[in-house]
């Protein structure tokens, strides 16, 4: 069987694991990558996006590939993109289409209402996908497979949810070649050491996926340190790795595992690494473990410094002192720290923004990332949002598509301007920020923010900020950044010279 995966913007570990399992059982896989230039998580520039649109090219390549199944891994932010492309594929060829990923897992009934979608895979997809492929190969287009829903005579056929994969070491290593051959060989190796999260934050998919898998195995699981090291050693032999990104939702929750892993990493891998942490798990011992794995920077989810909102709305339990203490420990350990914040939260007001500014005047982070709240289907925060049923229905249908990096679900001008103002913490001299905060000169910050808007999401500022402040920081050379270097040139060749490449950009 030939399976065509379709994915935008980023490298997908999920697809790499699916491909590895399918190849292990004799099937052929290929990814068709859409760079979605100038209309992605950070840009929305209609004119340029239309000029550099790759959809027709992708559809043509898929038709030439003649797959037996087309598979989309779908995030809510890209559900509209996936629907549009699947419709175009169906117009050109009669091939079954399957949607999997977080969005179909959250609202499978809504997704199966789309005419271009034949199957939906819910939750962990490696073995449901394999069984579906085997069934289609056997000419059984209506199989009863756990986690696989489909349409029959206009009705949705539902199946039960299987248990989670307990032994993650039993999975093959992710198939990196499927992306590297299509797009480029990433110098930043992305890896996951486990699955699940110890928390159930109300805005996150874990708030519903934990309920989905209740009674179906341990939700929070981890690979053995030896298994992770074995994958990294294999990557070192096959690819030009310059750094490692651990894509776990929280990397530092298990000290015993981290202690064992850090010793092996220090001895066998040694590459600079990046991971995600939380304010509760950072202490002197954990910082020492991070230094052993040559961790140059971490990303810490703070989200809100208002205790009432943090606990009552988001379901996160820690104090501002925890955040301040973590920042100090990481700074003393020589590890850069990016903090994440969400604006536009229910019951949030201007006082929350002032509190945030005051906090970072006293507790400087390496970089403050500010996002706008984006309501996602079936998450717990919807019950606290005050939204009407018709608005929630639009969210479930993927119609409310404004991304958290652009204008989120709020769209309020004051919230968007507050985001831009707070992002200036990363680019203005600290003494100027102190002056503006102490003297309440927020109109001046907003004036600077208007100038900042001209520079398109601060990408120019971000680059120079990293050069100046992150002396030890490595700017990851991965697919998300690389696509803006190579795909525009390839598109220009197609437009100007009329070249029609049937292979990937790197083939």
pLDDT at 21 (0 to 100): 98
Q: Give the Cα separation of 486 and 171 in Å (integer).
A: 33
Closest by CA to 269, choosing from 245, 249, 251, is 245
CATH class label, 2-157: alpha beta
Check residue 356 and give its pLDDT: 83
Domain boundaries, the chain: 2-157, 193-226+256-263+297-471
How far apart CA 199 and CA 264 sit, in angstroms, is 27
pTM of model > 0.85: yes
Residue listed under structure tokens 């652009």: 406
Q: Are 142 and 104 in contact (CB under 8 A)?
A: no
Q: Give the pLDDT score at 462.
A: 44
Report d(CA 432, CA 430) in Å as an integer.
5
Q: Which of 278, 312, 300 is nearest to 380 (CA)?
A: 312
Helix (H) or strand (E) holding 340: strand 336-343
Which pLDDT score is estimated for 172?
A: 98
pLDDT tens over the chain, length 507 residues: 999 999 998 899 999 999 999 999 999 999 999 988 777 766 666 677 777 788 898 999 999 999 999 999 999 989 999 999 999 999 999 999 999 999 999 999 999 999 999 999 999 999 999 999 999 999 998 899 999 999 988 899 999 999 999 999 999 999 999 998 888 767 889 999 999 999 999 999 999 999 999 999 999 999 999 999 999 999 999 998 889 999 999 999 999 999 999 999 999 999 999 999 999 999 999 999 999 999 999 999 999 999 999 999 999 999 999 999 999 999 999 999 999 999 888 888 777 777 887 888 789 888 888 888 889 999 999 998 888 899 888 888 887 655 544 445 555 666 766 676 677 666 666 566 656 655 555 566 666 655 555 444 444 444 444 444 444 444 444 555 555 555 666 666 655 655 444 444 444
CATH of domain 193-226+256-263+297-471: 3.30.750.200
In the prediction, which pLDDT does 498 show?
A: 57
The strand pair at 148-152 and 243-246 is best described as: unpaired
Residue 397: name the closest of 414, 412, 378, 380 by CA: 378
Helices (runs of H) and strands (runs of E) counted in the chain: 21, 15
Q: What is the DSSP string of 74-124?
A: --GGGHHHHHHHHHHHHHH----EEEESHHHHH-HHHHTTSTT--EEE-S-
Give the pLDDT score at 236. 95
């Amino acid at each position: 069987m030939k399976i065509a995966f379709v994915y935008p913007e980023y490298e997908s570990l999920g697809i790499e694991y699916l491909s590895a399992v399918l190849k292990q059982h004799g099937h052929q896989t290929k990814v068709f990558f859409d760079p979605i230039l100038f209309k992605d998580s950070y840009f929305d520039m209609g004119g340029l996006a239309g000029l550099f649109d790759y959809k027709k090219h992708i559809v043509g390549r898929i038709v030439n590939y003649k797959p037996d199944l087309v598979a989309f891994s779908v995030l809510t932010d890209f559900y509209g993109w996936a629907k549009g492309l699947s419709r175009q594929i169906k117009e050109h060829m009669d091939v079954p289409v399957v949607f999997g990923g977080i969005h179909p897992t959250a609202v499978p009934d809504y997704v199966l209402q789309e005419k271009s979608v034949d199957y939906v895979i819910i939750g962990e997809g490696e073995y449901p996908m394999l069984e579906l492929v085997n069934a289609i190969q056997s000419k059984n287009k209506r199989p009863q497979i756990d986690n696989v829903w489909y349409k029959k005579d206009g009705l949705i056929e539902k199946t039960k949810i299987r248990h989670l994969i307990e032994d993650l070491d039993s999975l093959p290593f992710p198939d990196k070649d499927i992306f590297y051959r299509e797009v480029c060989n990433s110098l930043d190796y992305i890896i996951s050491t486990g699955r699940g999260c110890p928390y159930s934050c109300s805005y996150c998919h874990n708030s519903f996926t934990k309920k989905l898998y209740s009674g179906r195995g341990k939700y929070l699981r981890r690979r053995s340190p030896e298994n992770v090291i074995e994958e990294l050693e294999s990557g070192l032999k096959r690819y030009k790795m310059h750094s490692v990104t651990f894509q776990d939702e929280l990397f530092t929750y298990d000290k015993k595992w981290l202690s064992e892993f850090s010793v092996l990493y220090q001895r066998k891998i040694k590459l600079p690494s990046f991971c995600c942490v939380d304010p509760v798990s950072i202490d002197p011992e954990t910082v020492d473990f991070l230094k052993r794995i040559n961790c140059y920077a971490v990303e810490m989810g703070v989200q809100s410094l208002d205790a009432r909102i943090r606990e009552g709305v988001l379901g996160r339990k820690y104090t501002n002192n925890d955040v301040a203490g973590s920042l100090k420990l990481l700074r003393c350990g020589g590890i850069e720290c990016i903090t994440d914040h969400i604006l536009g939260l229910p019951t949030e007001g201007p006082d929350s923004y002032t509190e945030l500014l005051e906090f970072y005047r006293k507790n400087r982070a390496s970089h403050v990332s500010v996002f706008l709240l984006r309501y996602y289907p079936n998450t717990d925060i919807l019950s606290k949002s005050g939204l009407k049923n018709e608005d929630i229905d639009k969210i479930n249908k993927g119609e409310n598509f404004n991304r958290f990096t652009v204008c989120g679900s709020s769209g309020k001008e004051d919230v968007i301007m507050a985001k831009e103002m707070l992002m200036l913490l990363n680019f203005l001299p600290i003494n100027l920020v102190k002056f503006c905060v102490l003297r309440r000169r927020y109109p001046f910050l907003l004036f600077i923010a208007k100038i900042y808007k001209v520079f398109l999401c601060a990408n120019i500022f971000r680059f120079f900020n990293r050069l100046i402040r992150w002396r030890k920081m490595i700017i990851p050379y991965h697919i998300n950044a690389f696509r803006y270097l190579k795909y525009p040139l390839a598109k220009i060749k197609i437009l100007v010279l009329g070249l029609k490449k049937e292979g990937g950009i790197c083939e």
